[in-house]
Structure 1
Amino acid sequence: MIYSVLGEGVAALCCATALSDRGLDVEVIVPEGSREAASRFAGGMLAPFCEGESAPDLIVAQGQAAVDWWAAHVPGVTKRGTLVVAPPRDGAELDRFARATQEHDWVVPGDLEPDLEGRFARGLFFPTEAHLDPRKALASLRDSLLAKGVTFRSGTPRGHVVDCRGLASRDSLADLRGVRGEMLIVHASDVTLTRPVRLLHPRFPCYVVPRDGDRYMIGATMVESARPGPVTARAAMELLSAAYTLHPGFAEAEILELGAGLRPSFPDNIPAVRHVAGRSYVNGMYRHGFLMAPVCAEQLAAELAEVYAHAD
């Protein structure tokens, strides 16, 4: 039996990896004319406890496996935790965040990130969380699959189909919707941050994630819209304003990229594995792609390996 995984984003590559890890015969079908995968615009934060502010307990509990999964499959997983701060006028937001989450410590932000010294009196530190560069992680998964003999091609799938096409799967999953996310990547030589920092704000909270070479990804917009297209001026201004509030050095940053992606989401915003009409679907990643794709992939692989074993 061959397993044809449709898609090229984080769900597809995680599924192909999990199936291949079990010794199953896998190929990856890259749909022709597909949009760039939304996972290329992700922050790459492996932050289950921070997500607990708004996500169901299931995401917090299952997402904790993501750090070890990624560390076992790709290089570059940075385990330095997550720092959460708020301007003094928004201190109530920080208290609310603390009540809604777990596994954190109250800290003086400048003790962890010297560049923030004197800017924030207190913050929350989530020490077990981590982050990675999404594009490098996806490239690494692809390279590993190719090295194991997994074929990447276009055309007609064969055998059992594992559909990970994101929003393109709406032709079979009618309850999928798009949630638009927008981000910027900047080069900021006047800023030194070593871990993701979330800035809380009642209207436009944002996160800043370090990349290599003095680059930072700034993101957080969540718009209930399936409209494709470039980043809006409003989103860019809000994200840059929030980044400047975090550190004034971002005022001199060079904007390297503005990007927008459509996150595929189910009504409950919980990623899921579904089996419909002889085809398996891994979809609905919402804002939890890098956190939950490995979980869903391992669930799917275990189910299909069991079926494969019984078929033998």
Structure 2
Amino acid sequence: MTTADPFDAGRYDPNDPDPWLALYLDHSLPIDPQAKRALLLGARSWSRRWLFPVSRPVVFLFFGLVKILRAISPRHPNLNGLLHKSIHWGLRTFGSPECNTLILRHFHIGTELIAFIKANAGIDPALVKTVPLRPLTLKSLEDNVFLQHDLNIFNFIIELNLALRQAGKEITPPDRIDFSMLTDIDPAFEAFPTGWANKIDIQTAVEFYTPLYALMLPRSDFMRASHSLQLDEIVGIYIGRILGTDYHMHFVKNGHPLVTLSTLQAGFRLMMHGLDCEAMHGWLRLLKHRQAMGLPLDPRDPTGGPELG
């Protein structure tokens, strides 16, 4: 039996417009169409509409108990290996294909955003050491991928700024912007499970795993992970200095980390972090395409900007 496409514009009824169809057709954010589809399928799913709100009070209470435990014992337990194994098991057992796609995509996007800034910041990229993360299977998440993702972004910011200070430089638009590291993020992901239990959307999965993350990692690791979710604005500013335009900053809504938010909001901010990264990556891919066509880099600037060559 073939299921009707929920985003089929032919099903549009002006007397009963579908809010998810409106968001699917909207192009205000330059995110990948398949990523948007996966996100919206999760947003309109049974788990997001029912399981997510019903379970939140229980998750919040559990999170509060974890915070008390971590206040008493900030370093133990340290179950990083078990955490990554449990994430793999949970996603394979309960995660929807759309949920699993978005999670694996995120590591590829983070790797490419960092590589873009390193290549265009005006310093030797070798001075900024990060570990590229390009998982293709859920099993590969067990290889410390989540923790390494957090380490990457903080080490990137520290080492980038140390290199800039030592060189007496600021990030400025280069003569020619290098977009070569940016791809359409369409790798050969494994065929994700589609069993009867694989119905959990990404936001519900994130909400459940956030307190487990806090429970199984030392407090310093969890705090670092939580604060990393607010680094989108810093990354966006770096990209703006390279591009010579701040238009993409309209996509960034996660708040500057100099004013830190409560770790109790980490689940929601993780979703916003994913959306911010998808939008910035999509915008850079659009500019890469314009560069390849010999068009002005900024669609609003007919005179050009940094050399497109």
TM-score of the two chains, using structure 2 as the length reference = 0.25
Q: Which has the higher strand share?
A: 1
The structure with more helix, counted as a fraction of residues: 2
Instruction: Give the TM-score normalised by structure 1.
Output: 0.24
